[in-house]
Amino acid sequence: MQRLIKNGEIIDETWHLLDKDATLDGLSNSDDLIVPLGLWLEHAHALKARDGGLGVWLDSDEQVEAIAEDLQYFQVVALNFPVFSDGRSYSNARLLRDRYQYPGEVRAIGDVLRDQLFFMRRCGFDAFALRADRNPEEALESFNDFSNTYQSATDQPLPLFRRRA
């Protein structure tokens, strides 16, 4: 079973992440599902009527503005990193948290690697589906890579210059 880093701990994954081209056909009614943005936009009504938990995932070239009005329906918003060097999901995460005040889980999916976790967390991610071939226990160490930060971000709204003794 895939494991997830959430709030600094390793937990078992209970959600199902649907492929980008998934359709409504054969969708379980009771499973917790993270659906692709396209499916949500087309079938929001049907998806809302299910009993199971609902999340949505956005690819790096999709904009959070597309779900800004719908956030109350999602327990999870997952943002994809097709490759770790594609940094667009950092901005999407910050907008979700800072602009749209999304309170649920913001999950990093895709090419999620230890050396990016510190920055991801700063941008508002609180759950990390580390790439399957990586060891999540070791990755936890990276949250302590830096003891302080210069800029404001989602995790610390005050820049260092407003905190400097």
Using the contact rule CB under 8 A, the part of the chain among 47-55, 66-74, 101-109, 114-122 near another protein is 114-122
* Closest by Cα among 97, 80, 98 to 89: 80
Task: Pick the closer one to another protein by CB: 44 or 113.
Answer: 113
CA distance 6 to 161: 30
Task: Pick the closer one to another protein by CB: 27 or 106.
Answer: 106
x/- letters, 49..68, toward another protein (CB under 8 A): --------------x-----
Which one of 15, 57, 90, 128 is in contact with another protein (CB under 8 A)?
90
3-state secondary structure at position 16? strand
Which one of 94, 96, 107, 128 is in contact with another protein (CB under 8 A)?
94
Using the contact rule CB under 8 A, the part of the chain among 7-15, 32-40, 43-51, 84-92 near another protein is 84-92
CA distance 34 to 54: 6
Residue 106 burial (CB < 10 Å; 0-12/13-18/19+)? Answer: buried
Which residues, 146 to 165, sit near another protein by CB under 8 A? 146-153, 157-162, 164
Size of the site for another protein (CB under 8 A): 35
Share of the chain residues as helix, strand and coil, in percent rounded to the nearest 5: 30, 20, 45
